[in-house]
Structure 1
Amino acid sequence: MSGIGVLLKYYRTQKKKTQTDLCMGICTPSYLSRIENNLIEADDEIYSLLFERLDLSYEKIIQDNCNLDQRLEEWYKDMFFQKESKENIEELKGLCMISSPDILIKFEITYCRYLILTQDIELSLNKINSLRKLSIPAENNRNYFLYVNVLLLYHFRVKEYSEALRIGIKASNTDGFESLGKDYEVGAFYYNLALNYKNLYIYDKSRYYAEKALRLFLDNYYLELAIDCQILLGISFNNTGNWSDSLRSYLKAKRLLNYLPEKYHDTYLGMIENNIGYCYQRIGEYEKAINYYSKSLIYKKDNEQLLTLINLVHCHHLLGNSSKSKKLLIKSLGLRTASRPVNLSLQLDFMSLIILEDILSLEEIIELEQIFEELVKRNFQDAIIHYGETLAKLFEKYHHYKKAAKVYKSILYTNKGNLSGNNPRIQRKTKYF
């Protein structure tokens, strides 16, 4: 057992024995010193004799450590799959404090994951800083694998995506890194890399790692995790204009959903149907888009419907269904709250002026221009394209050709950027493992 020497030293000092007293007739004091400093590993017989002199059972200590290790692994697994903790943390901490150093380090790493899970970001950073000082070795070390994944989780939560990737890529290049994790953990590691790349708009890398994760999840029948991968792939294809590939990914996710219990269906179908609708909207098939957006609403609670309603408003407006778009817009405004994402608020502001006002004043057109400039500033690429075209035509109608040209330039720049911006119409799966 790694760290047994340090544990031996702990119990020796607790019993107030000197090294000479403890090792007499068993080994030399210098040999014991090397054992206690983890410089060598002695035979089990020597450990048994040393612990016996301390009135302790070496075999029981080994078994207790194994039990603690298993308990920590179960705690970590529960948080991974269930996203909750039922562990008696204070009791477990007390037991780990008098166990081997590796067990205590594993507790601190797992506890750090718990803190991030419960949104205690400040305390989790303090724990991470303490763990950094330990310089956890990478070679053949399960704790290193867990530590790296906790670091990725932390940096994702604080939106430090580049730092998460720096740590993750460095770890993945370590010999034997994958062998330190369980199959679903390795898959999640690659999924998390894909998610960080997606948030940096590096979609080719996002797809590469999402596909690696997907293969692991499918091979080992982690179907819910595979669905998350297919959705992430669909989003990446969406953002690079590969609509047919995007549709394929979403439809595969729907098929996989048939193998999961019904309790999972509404959440996933609400998201998938919305994103399929978006694909059809982008290729100009607005009737099909409306059909899928309407399906999406069936599976969503009222407080989850705003994004899909805005998409429906836009499609009906493009088809000239003014009464339907106005009715849906009024419903959307009723769901608006201060806590809603800014991209949804900006879209509502824009559509309200376009749909609810019969004749726009110059001041209202200027207000539309300001909303559009905010969309450009925040790089909401799809909104830039759709609302930009509407705004440019208004400027042309009122003979503001320079302003119209500026808007068209923003649209052209967005298209040339290979749609590499933030898309406010796709529903994202931000699950992180």
Structure 2
Amino acid sequence: MEYGALIKYYRTQRGITQAELAKGICSVPHLSKIENNSKEANKETISLLLNRLNVNLEEMEEKEGIIQDLLADLEEKINYYLIDKIDETYRKLQEIEHIIPFSKHIYKYELYKYRYLLFKGYLAEAAKQKELLFKQRINFSQHEEYLYNYFNAIFLMMKGKFKAADELFDALDIEPSTEKTKAEYFYHRAHVKAALEQSGHAIHFGKLALQLFMNEHNFLRILHSLMLLGINYTHSNIYEEAEECFRHLIRNAELLKQEKLLPQIYHNMGFLQNKKNNPKKALSYYEKSLALQPINNPHYLVTLYAIGEIQYSLGEAEKAKECFNVVSSLAKELGNKKYRLLADFYLVHMHSPDRAFKYLVSKVIPHLEETNEHKNDLTRFYKMLSDYYTEQGMYLEAVKYLNKIT
């Protein structure tokens, strides 16, 4: 505890002069040096000064330990993804926030405040905390510098700046501290690699994270790692491993009553089954996912669109039309341009394929290319256009879209 700064804080807060505080305990110059941390005082002098300020020395020393324990608890809740329980720990830290600047944990607290804001998804507040930390970083220890850069990489990831996040992760050395640190690091690396469509790397880091989470019985993060692996096995056409991941996920998510995770698992299993050319199985999983989701949210929109595509491919035109009408309306409501364009393409295609393909070329493809959508989405539509132009005898146009695929 920085007792000099603490004494000055309470003396100023109580409106006491240095002479009034020092009387009978020490000289005014001696107190001035203590307050400015230019002179160490013995414990007895510190205790007498604090007692005159009605501050208990033992209580202050105890609070140093409390701060350390609360920060460790905050880190634990983040590592174990206890999103519903973390607020209580953060509230306890805020209750003693006025003491923390006088402790040796000041920078660690500010860093973990940043991490808490990221964990809760409060990105605007996290950006302000990031600026504050940037000004303080000259005083960071090596470990605090590592945490600052690591949390910045997570911030970039959450802002969708995956390339910048990946570069920062690359520049970080993995601290040889705990398995928890490594597990989180590998998990976030896998997440970024998946977003960059580097499925092989995502699988590599995902497997490292999974093993470490298993070692510490971190059940929620095991589920998250399995989800990442399942998705990336699917994109890599490693279907057997992908299906095994999703089956493990379904069993364990049901056992752990992870109602929020189950819709995502069912959706991804549906996507896998569709890639395996099992449209009816895919439809079954998509419908399970949809039944567990609240309406009027982006995930509901994506699942309903997937159902519409399968219904369309199965020749169920009326059912598909019903899906796409809802998707188009909901996409407008949510401000989601991609799914509005896609739904409208299929709705137009049901009445006039020629008009639909013009719409695909003029509206849909440019938007998907501009927003850098997943290559699987673009490949499907490039193939569709190539086939259409081949049927029309427009071979130059057909080759143009075939070239885009390759």
TM superposition shift of 1:11: 7.9
329, 340, 343: which one aligns with 2:338:
343
Between the aligned partners of 2:109 and 2:398, the Cα distance in structure 1 is: 60
229, 238, 248: which one aligns with 1:233:
229
Q: Which amino acid aligns with 1:213?
A: A
Q: Secondary structure at the match of 2:331?
A: coil
Q: Secondary structure at the match of 2:236?
A: coil
Between the aligned partners of 1:293 and 1:123, the Cα distance in structure 2 is: 36
TM (norm. structure 1) is 0.74
Structure 1 unaligned spans of 5+: 413-433
Between the aligned partners of 1:334 and 1:122, the Cα distance in structure 2 is: 30
Q: Structure 2 matches for 1:50-65, cutoff 5 A?
A: 50-52=45-47, 54-55=49-50, 59-65=58-64
Q: Relative to structure 2, which stretch is displaced further, 51-60 or 365-374?
A: 51-60
Q: Structure 2 matches for 1:315-334, cutoff 5 A?
A: 315-334=310-329
TM superposition shift of 1:232: 0.8
Cα deviation code 1:28-85 (max 9, x no counterpart): x9xx99x9469xxx9xxx7424423535565443212112332344455556522663
Q: Structure 2 matches for 1:393-404, cutoff 5 A?
A: 393-404=387-398
TM superposition shift of 1:195: 1.2
Q: Relative to structure 2, which stretch is displaced further, 116-125 or 319-328?
A: 116-125
Call closer, same or farther: CA 1:170–1:395 in 2, change over 3 Å.
closer
Between the aligned partners of 1:205 and 1:8, the Cα distance in structure 2 is: 54
Corresponding residue number in structure 2 for 1:427: none
Q: Which amino acid aligns with 1:154?
A: F
Q: Which amino acid aligns with 1:128?
A: K
Cα deviation code 1:272-330 (max 9, x no counterpart): 12211211212322232223223322322333432222222222333333344334333
1:158 partnered with 2:153: no
Q: Secondary structure at the match of 2:222?
A: helix
Q: Which amino acid aligns with 2:207?
A: E
Q: Percent identity?
A: 18
Call closer, same or farther: CA 1:255–1:219 in 2, change over 3 Å.
farther
Q: Which amino acid aligns with 2:49?
A: L
Between the aligned partners of 1:88 and 1:60, the Cα distance in structure 2 is: 16
Between the aligned partners of 1:107 and 1:90, the Cα distance in structure 2 is: 10
Corresponding residue number in structure 1 for 2:403: 409
112, 115, 134: which one aligns with 1:113:
115
Give yes or no for contact 1:343–1:380 (8 Å, CA) kept in 2. Answer: no
Structure 2 unaligned spans of 5+: none
Call closer, same or farther: CA 1:163–1:48 in 2, change over 3 Å.
farther
Call closer, same or farther: CA 1:241–1:222 in 2, change over 3 Å.
same
Give yes or no for contact 1:155–1:161 (8 Å, CA) kept in 2. Answer: yes
Q: Structure 2 matches for 1:351-390, cutoff 5 A?
A: 351-354=346-349, 356-357=350-351, 359-361=352-354, 363-370=355-362, 371-377=364-370, 378-390=372-384
Q: Structure 2 matches for 1:132-147, cutoff 5 A?
A: 132-135=134-137, 136-139=139-142, 141=143, 143=144, 146-147=147-148
TM superposition shift of 1:233: 1.0
Cα deviation code 1:144-194 (max 9, x no counterpart): 5654443233222222334434444444344x3x33xxx545422321222
Corresponding residue number in structure 1 for 2:18: 16
1:302 partnered with 2:295: yes
TM superposition shift of 1:227: 0.6
Q: Which amino acid aligns with 1:372?
A: I
TM (norm. structure 2) is 0.79
Between the aligned partners of 1:305 and 1:343, the Cα distance in structure 2 is: 14
Give yes or no for contact 1:210–1:233 (8 Å, CA) kept in 2. Answer: yes
1:67 partnered with 2:61: no
Q: Secondary structure at the match of 2:87?
A: coil
Matched residue pairs, number?
A: 382
Corresponding residue number in structure 1 for 2:266: 273
Q: Secondary structure at the match of 1:391?
A: helix
Q: Which amino acid aligns with 1:61?
A: M
Give yes or no for contact 1:184–1:222 (8 Å, CA) kept in 2. Answer: no
Task: Choose between structure 1 and 2: higher helix proportion.
Answer: 2
Between the aligned partners of 1:209 and 1:5, the Cα distance in structure 2 is: 47
Between the aligned partners of 1:154 and 1:402, the Cα distance in structure 2 is: 45
Between the aligned partners of 2:384 and 2:329, the Cα distance in structure 1 is: 24
